[in-house]
Chain A
Amino acid sequence: GAVVSQHPSWVICKSGTSVKIECRSLDFQATTMFWYRQFPKQSLMLMATSNEGSKATYEQGVEKDKFLINHASLTLSTLTVTSAHPEDSSFYICSASGTSGFWTGELFFGEGSRLTVL
């Protein structure tokens, strides 16, 4: 199956710093990528949808200036958590959707990035 890679898988940072998480589709072109956030023992919450070459669409309640999303190419999307605070600590997961040849609706998920803000 298609592979989506996330990096880093684990990051610890000081409060006030910014952290960038990368999401790459390794063997297909991802026209659309989705970023999810997951708190412990909870479900995945959609943060934003990004289409290659255009601005991301954020879900209600997600600060776009806080969570900067860039989808500059068909194989890479990045999520930057700016001026991170302890409440931003979470598990961030990206998923990617391809073009033709993929089943409608099927998404491929990265392995997730665990962010801990001290």
Chain B
Amino acid sequence: GESVGLHLPTLSVQEGDNSIINCAYSNSASDYFIWYKQESGKGPQFIIDIRSNMDKRQGQRVTVLLNKTVKHLSLQIAATQPGDSAVYFCAENMGGNTPLVFGKGTRLSVIA
């Protein structure tokens, strides 16, 4: 099912610290998960993805963790920078040409 919120939670972190953004998904049949970054007035920007047969995937400064048991997804950003300030959305689908269902989003605010 969809997870849509009316108000975005906010995470404030000091520049240089690590950030952890969490997401709970609802569809146990989801096979594919993506984290997107969205800056004001722009479309979503792909950050990192993970398939359901994995529990961890690392990119440059970012790590995605997947816990299928509790249907939880997290995005870790190392050494957070001011340019990381944005809204972050997790998204899920069942693979193939199925639509992505977006989570409610978290606003990350980096304090310089």
Partners in one complex: yes
Among the listed stretches B2-10, B58-66, B67-75, which one makes contact with chain A, having 4 or more residues with CB under 8 Å of it? Answer: B2-10
A31-B97, A41-B7 known; A111 vs B34 contact (CB < 8 Å): no
Query: Would A43 and B49 count as touching, CB distance under 8 A?
Result: no
Interface of B is mostly: loop
User: Count of chain A residues with Cβ under 8 Å from any Cβ of B?
Assistant: 29
Number of residue pairs spanning A and B whose beta carbons lie under 8 angstroms apart? 72
A34-B99, A105-B100, A111-B43 given as contacts; is B5 within 8 A of A42 (CB)? yes
Taking beta carbons and an 8 Å cutoff, which residues of B are in contact with A? 2-8, 31-32, 34, 36, 41-46, 49, 51, 89, 93, 95-105
Closest 9 CB pairs of A and B: A105-B32, A109-B43, A32-B97, A112-B43, A44-B102, A111-B43, A43-B102, A104-B95, A109-B44
